[in-house]
């Protein structure tokens, strides 16, 4: 299509977009440091609203989602000061009981704050978190649980309004059964129950390590919680919590992502620390079945070696201690190069297979029917421009790029930056050929054709040994 000079002048200027350029074929070696767990940091920040004194959270990852949660907490009247990898949080004067829609809608974990706020103030207004790329993400279990704890909860024009009638404005302990072991609902209700009158029992609770981390954090503030990590959690309410200085657990999903990166890149041999091996049992078991050598080198250090051909394995995502849904996309990337047919069943979220199309653009052979993906191993992947659709899909595309022939350019990095701290720096320190670059994107969102070929990484990868 020819456009006139004046039309060209009227066009909005091209904008710049960050992308990752990855040249595949480089083995990984050395040691990588695992950051604090995103899904702990976010809920522990919410739980800090329970405490009327300043407290310190350590080992907090530097992530976009953590920044967003800090903004939300500030909007409620609390203060959040960042100091290296620590946060000083002070919710002594939270007055506001409602958070702004534009912030909450971007961060599902912020909805969990409804528990601490209504427990602390007797009233909370939180916008319903929108659905996201991976599913509808309802909050009915959170709402039903708060009602069981004695809160009146109305949903009006997308705002969840929870309030406790009566002079006391204090929640009352209850026995709550969760239809499904929802991580967020378990966390919201456990936080709410810490200040309730009497005892709360949560049955069919989520057992994820982040739930245990939250319980340990609340107990360090004086809460009385037993059974976290099992299906039944018992909380005895107290009147008030006190300050604490608490270190967040290492991120098991980031660790799992690096283990898979080691497995897919031939002749890799590196260690990860700190990790909690017990958080990675399912992932470790499946990696060994595929043919990667995964070992525990020290109480908080794991090692991955890839020297053998990869073979197909079936995966079914389940609540902890089953195979984590947050590792499904990354593992699928690995299985695209595993000989034979692998069947991946995603049972936790209804729309978490969107990375299939992008992996197939790289030469993978994956067919999807409902929540099942059948992956037929292929001899190689080819680098290509790809677009990330959600957080873990972006990690899967990086992993595929590390093994593909040629250069892969990954767009949609806002997803990746939500959940991975300096991923490209960490991978480059292990020997990967990966860089973050800016490309010109035309107003219609199409990258200028020069962007891919101009990558300084565009060099032949080392010959495979
Ligand atoms: C947490 O989300 C994590 N996020 C997710 O990690 C993780 O994938 C998920 O748990 C499962 O492990 C955070 O911790 C911030 P759920 P959450 O409630 O709590 C249904 C990542 O990539 N459900 O356990 O929202 C729900 O639809 C993110 O780091 C209800 O039906 O997950 C889903 O099908 C993605 N009603 C299932 O339960 C409810 O009230 C599990 O969801 C709540 C959930």
- Does the C-beta of 131 come closer than 6 Å to ligand 1? no
Residue 80 falls within a domain, yes or no? yes
The answer on 444 and 334 residing in a single domain is yes
Predicted confidence (pLDDT) at residue 465 exceeds the cutoff of 70: no
Given a contact cutoff of 8 angstroms between Cβ atoms, the answer to whether 245 and 443 are in contact is no
CA 185 from chain centre, in angstroms, equals 16
Residue 7 falls within a domain, yes or no? no
- Does the C-beta of 97 come closer than 6 Å to ligand 1? no
Strand order, beta sheet including 79-83 = 79-83, 86-90, 54-58, 245-247
Predicted confidence band of residue 450 (pLDDT cuts 50, 70, 90):
low
The pLDDT, as a whole number, for residue 464 is 45
Domain that holds residue 235: 38-240
The answer on 156 and 98 residing in a single domain is yes
Residue 1 falls within a domain, yes or no? no
pLDDT digits (tens, 9 = 90+) for 334-378: 999 999 999 999 999 999 999 999 999 999 999 999 999 999 999
What does each C-alpha distance from 269 to 78, 185, 254, 257 come to in angstroms? 45, 39, 17, 15
Residue 231 falls within a domain, yes or no? yes
* 281 SS3 class: helix
Domain boundary among 212, 240, 268: 240
Q: Which of 116, 184, 178 has its CA nearest to residue 148?
A: 178
The answer on 83 and 140 residing in a single domain is yes
Of 128-132, 208-212, 377-381, 395-399, the range with the lowest mean pLDDT is 128-132
The answer on 46 and 17 residing in a single domain is no
The pLDDT, as a whole number, for residue 452 is 52
The answer on 365 and 216 residing in a single domain is no
Q: Which of 51, 132, 218, 433 is catalytic?
A: 132
Got the DSSP string for 178-225?
Answer: -SS--HHHHHHHHHHHTTSBSEEEEES----HHHHHHHHHHHHTT-EE
- Does the C-beta of 178 come closer than 6 Å to ligand 1? no
The answer on 298 and 433 residing in a single domain is yes
The pLDDT, as a whole number, for residue 260 is 98
Predicted confidence (pLDDT) at residue 455 exceeds the cutoff of 60: no
333-372: b (≥16 Cβ within 10 Å) or e: bbbbbbbeebebebbbbeebbbbbebbbbbbbebebeebe
Residue 214's domain is classified under what CATH number? 3.65.10.10
Using the mean position of ligand 1's atoms as its centre, give its distance from the Cα of residue 179 in Å. 13
Using the mean position of ligand 1's atoms as its centre, give its distance from the Cα of residue 388 in Å. 20
The more confidently predicted of residues 459 and 279 is: 279
Quote the number of domains for the chain.
2
The answer on 386 and 285 residing in a single domain is yes
Domain boundary among 183, 215, 240: 240
Rounded (10°) CA dihedral 353, 358, 361, 362: -100
Domain boundary among 211, 240, 269: 240
- The average confidence (pLDDT) of the chain is 93
The answer on 42 and 29 residing in a single domain is no
Calculate ∠ Cα 259-260-266, nearest 5°: 100
Given a contact cutoff of 8 angstroms between Cβ atoms, the answer to whether 218 and 190 are in contact is yes
Q: Which of 105, 189, 200 has its CA nearest to residue 140?
A: 189
Residue 465 falls within a domain, yes or no? no
The pLDDT, as a whole number, for residue 460 is 53
Residue 5 falls within a domain, yes or no? no
Per the annotation, the verdict on 218 as an active-site residue is no
- Does the C-beta of 137 come closer than 6 Å to ligand 1? yes
The pLDDT, as a whole number, for residue 448 is 62
Q: What is the pTM of this model?
A: 0.94
Tokens 């992932």 correspond to 283
The answer on 286 and 152 residing in a single domain is no
**Angstrom distance (rounded) from CA 373 to CA 361:** 16
CA 232 from chain centre, in angstroms, equals 25
Residue 2 falls within a domain, yes or no? no
pLDDT digits (tens, 9 = 90+) for 225-257: 999 999 999 999 999 999 999 999 999 999 999
The answer on 226 and 259 residing in a single domain is no
Residue 463 falls within a domain, yes or no? no
Given a contact cutoff of 8 angstroms between Cβ atoms, the answer to whether 253 and 327 are in contact is yes
Given a contact cutoff of 8 angstroms between Cβ atoms, the answer to whether 462 and 25 are in contact is yes
Predicted confidence (pLDDT) at residue 442 exceeds the cutoff of 90: no
The answer on 24 and 84 residing in a single domain is no
Predicted confidence band of residue 131 (pLDDT cuts 50, 70, 90):
low
The answer on 265 and 414 residing in a single domain is yes
Residues 6+ apart with CB under 8 A from 446: none
**Angstrom distance (rounded) from CA 242 to CA 54:** 8
* 373 SS3 class: strand
Using the mean position of ligand 1's atoms as its centre, give its distance from the Cα of residue 108 in Å. 9
């Amino acid at each position: 299509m020819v456009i006139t000079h004046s039309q060209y002048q009227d066009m909005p200027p091209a904008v710049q977009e960050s992308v990752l350029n990855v040249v595949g074929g480089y083995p990984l070696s050395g040691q990588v440091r695992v950051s604090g767990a995103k899904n702990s940091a976010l809920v522990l920040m919410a739980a800090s609203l329970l405490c009327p004194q300043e407290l310190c959270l350590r080992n907090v990852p530097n992530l976009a989602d953590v920044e967003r949660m800090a903004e939300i907490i500030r909007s409620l009247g609390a203060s959040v000061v960042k100091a290296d990898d620590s946060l000083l949080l002070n919710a002594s004067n939270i007055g506001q009981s409602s958070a702004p829609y534009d912030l909450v809608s971007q961060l599902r974990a912020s909805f969990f704050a409804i528990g601490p706020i209504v427990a602390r103030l007797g009233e909370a207004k939180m916008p319903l978190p929108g659905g996201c790329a991976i599913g509808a993400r309802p909050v009915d279990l959170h709402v039903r649980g708060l009602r069981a704890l004695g809160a009146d909860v109305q949903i009006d024009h997308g705002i969840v309004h929870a309030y406790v009638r009566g002079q006391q404005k204090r929640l009352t302990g209850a026995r709550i059964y969760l239809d499904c072991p929802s991580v967020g609902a378990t966390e919201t209700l456990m936080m709410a129950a810490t200040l309730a009158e009497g005892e709360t029992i949560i049955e069919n609770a989520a057992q994820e390590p982040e739930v245990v981390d939250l319980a340990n954090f609340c107990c360090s503030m004086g809460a009385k919680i037993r059974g976290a990590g099992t299906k039944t959690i018992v909380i005895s309410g107290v009147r008030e919590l006190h300050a604490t200085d608490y270190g967040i657990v290492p991120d098991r999903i980031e660790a799992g992502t690096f283990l898979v990166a080691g497995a897919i890149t031939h002749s890799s041999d590196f260690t990860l620390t700190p990790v909690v091996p017990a958080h990675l049992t399912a992932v470790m078991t499946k990696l060994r079945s595929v043919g990667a050598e995964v070992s525990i080198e020290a109480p908080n250090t794991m090692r991955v070696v890839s020297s053998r051909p990869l073979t197909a394995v079936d995966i079914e995502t389940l609540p902890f201690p089953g195979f984590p849904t947050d590792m499904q996309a990354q593992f699928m990337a690995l299985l695209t190069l595993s000989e034979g047919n692998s069947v991946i069943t995603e049972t936790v979220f209804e729309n978490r297979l969107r990375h299939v199309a992008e992996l197939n653009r790289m030469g993978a052979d994956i067919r999807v029917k409902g929540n099942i993906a059948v992956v037929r191993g292929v001899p190689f992947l080819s680098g290509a421009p790809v677009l990330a659709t959600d957080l873990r899909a972006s990690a899967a595309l990086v992993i595929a790029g590390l093994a593909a022939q040629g250069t892969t350019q990954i767009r949609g990095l806002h997803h990746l930056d939500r959940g991975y701290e300096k991923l490209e720096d960490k991978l480059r320190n292990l020997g990967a050929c990966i860089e973050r670059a800016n490309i010109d994107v035309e107003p219609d969102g199409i990258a200028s054709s020069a962007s891919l070929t101009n990558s300084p990484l565009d060099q032949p990868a080392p010959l495979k040994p």
